[in-house]
Structure 1
Amino acid sequence: MVLKFMAALFITYSHMGILFPQYGGLVTGGAIGDGLFFFCSGFTLFLGRKDGFINWYKRRINRIYPTIIMWAFLSATILGWEWNITDLITTPKYWFIPCIMIYYMIFFLIRTYLFKYLNIVFGIACLIVIASSFWLLDFNKSVMYAAVPFMRIYYFLFMMLGAMAAIKKYKEQSAFKAGSYVVLSLIVYYILMGIYKIEPYFCRFQVVSLLPLLTAIYWMYRFCGTPAVNRILEYRVGGKFIYFISALTLEIYMVQYAIFTDKLNGIFPFNILIIYIIIFIAAYLLKCASHLFSQIFGNEPFDRKGIYQV
């Protein structure tokens, strides 16, 4: 829950360049947020109930595509965005959706037939990622965390990491120690990315940055499982807010591009907070709309209260 909450904040912040263009260098964290999102997906997939592929995959479709359909309808009606039937399936505006739908298929096979060999699968995936970087990256200028095809391959490692974490028991860790490892890993990650951006020659080695990033995501997971963080979740207001945002991760990602604007830049940095609030409200409304769509076209009896639940 906390990890998905953090993912929503990081991903949204990384797209906020228009809100404070004079500080463009501070707009970062997208790779961290995406890593957290895919980690959580892998984690929950290996904790969910087992079923045949058709029913299992159908649940994934029912979770994602009502939101996509309703957002296509609302954005086309209100904002004038153009969608066609192909866009609903491939969602070119949102690269991660077709990516994760393919990951789901692969993960079903792994969970069904290779459950005892996750470490080996992870190792093979690492080799595939390293090998594919040589033909998917332009080593003279490509940054692998930008909008490049390579993104659709290496985030599989984060899903695998989440799957392995889901089935392994860990000793309780102190928040200070886990948090220190997170900070140290992120410092190494940003140093490496800084080197790759400053000196194009080193771009050919940037795949190495996945190691500290994976380490940071792992220790974020361990940090969120500490008693200190669990105590925060026990607070009624704080816990409910974190749960509310974590349940809207997909919707937040969908609506944010329509809400970013530079019209409030005169009140920086308060414009950042205001935009976050507007995005959260819009995401909740989209969630309600997707629930309504699911109930209208589903077989279950109509549940009015269910429309407003996150």
Structure 2
Amino acid sequence: MRAIDIKGGKGPVSSLFLSSEIPKPVPAAGQALVRVKFFGINRMDLTQRAGLYQVPPQAGPILGVEFSGVIEELHERSNANSDEYFKAGDEVFGLAYGGAYAEYVAVSTLMLIHKSQEIPWEVAAGIPEVWVTAIQAMELIGGFSPGKSILWHAGASSVSIAGIQLSKALGASAIYATVGSQEKVDLCRSLGATTVWNYRESNWEQEVSKITNDKGVDIIIDFVGQNYFQMNLNSAGKDGRVVIVGMLSGAKISGKDIDLSPFVTKRLRVEGSRLRGRDLEYQRVLRDMLVNDALPGFIDGKFQVPIEKVFDWRDIQGAHSLMESNTIKGKIICKVT
């Protein structure tokens, strides 16, 4: 089959190319073979391409974890452990451990979702990874419940775009976000954020203190890492939770004077997570939460999946270059042609 490959196994954007010599996957027990129509680009793909990502053993060398497509065939035992029935010809979207940058991907039926006609193919391909990640960070780890306040860093990233909408739908008392441009401020406000700060123009830590009367925020979802670590501790409220799901500014904070007293005085919990390394049963729970909490919103139009650009997959280098620019507001999607 055809698939996007990497010259030498890892490298810069220029190492990506469309190969026609990739073995077509064969579905194992519990899996379906899906003919891919669209796939989503995620930041982890860039890290994996560069050889800096610890890929789970079941992922394989082909990039990509989210897709939409049509079931081509199923292993005879594929529906044995599933609450839903799948068959050849079903239109689906879903989450895989890897291999979505291809004409075909083999994936567990536990991670597939039937695609409603109201959801366009390109939109469906941009849902699974980011919305499941947002649900995991906010609900499973962050312990969200109605009435809590929440702060989403990198507010115009796809995960935070999902998270802001979920926070509003599930009854957050206040939804804060940090971004790097006025365009992104406007986007987050349009999605339901109550207050958005451009970190290039204001000190969001001081603004959090001011707007909350020094009480802080119940849940902080952070993609930045090093530069925001102390500020997150200072901005969290009593019994607050800081969830670290990215490290865009770096992972090491050595050489800095970190004040750990907020851990004790505010009884904070700081926890990190990476979704892709989780086992199938854990991911299945999140998939079910996505179906129950969010799928109706995609069907009736309440939830948006902003798409920055749809690329022909032959221009995969352009798609990765745009992701690396850090200027996007939403998903980058590729069409398999």
Which of the five TM-score ranges fits, normalised by the shorter chain? under 0.3
Could you say which structure has the higher strand fraction?
2
Could you say which structure has the higher helix fraction?
1
Question: TM-score normalised to the size of structure 1?
Answer: 0.26
Greater relative contact order (Cα 8 A, min sep 6): structure 1 or 2?
1
Question: TM-score normalised to the size of structure 2?
Answer: 0.24
